[in-house]
Amino acid sequence: MNAPFRIPVTHLQHHVFYVTDLERSKTFYTRLFDLQFSALNHPDSSAAMRLSQQEMHFFSFGFHHHDICLVKHHKLQMDNNSMLHFALAVRDAKAFEEIRLRARDMALPIREGRMLASARPALRAFCLQDPDKHWIEIIEELTK
């Protein structure tokens, strides 16, 4: 029997998640991460978004058209259970400290350490929550 072929994924290209207030979330993410606003809705899906009463805002760290997409569904009630958390890895101590400093300037509570104690080791990690209570884990990765 042949060994299964491993799919060579290099990284997760973007995250899409629901928020209750697009302007509040836009302010939060651009302030915390200095994200660039890249688009409102998407030309390929604008009609479908209007029909489903959803609105999308796309943001970029500078790598792709969008690295994060915030979606407001105007009929859906948020229960904050749709996404447990996402993690952002940085390989630079300066970037890690800059995010921590911005979080403190924004008076965000910080929880030190990884979301799960059993997670892969990192040099340092801390967690915080966005306005919709989505957890964000910031990790300074070990260099290889």
Rounded to whole angstroms, what are the CA distances from 134 to 16, 50, 62?
Answer: 12, 25, 22
CA distances (Å), origin 48, targets 51, 52, 54, 65, 102:
5, 6, 8, 20, 36
Final residue before a domain boundary, out of 62, 78, 94 = 78
Residues 135 and 95 in one domain: yes
Token code pair at residue 71: 């979606």
Q: Are residues 71 and 107 in the same domain?
A: no
Say if residue 88 is in the same domain as residue 63: no
Structure confidence by residue, pLDDT tens digits, 74-97: 666 655 555 567 888 887 899 999
Clarify whether residues 72 and 88 are in a common domain: no
Is 62 in the same domain as 102?
Answer: no
Domain boundary among 60, 78, 96: 78
pTM: 0.76
Mean pLDDT within 112-119: 84
- Backbone torsions φ then ψ of 55, nearest 5 degrees: -135, 140
Total Cβ atoms within 10 A of residue 32: 19
What is the domain-level CATH number for residue 39?
Answer: 3.10.180.10
Sheet holding 36-40, edge to edge: 15-18, 68-73, 54-60, 36-40
Is the pLDDT reported for residue 47 higher than 80? no
Among 78, 96, 131, residue at a domain's last position: 78
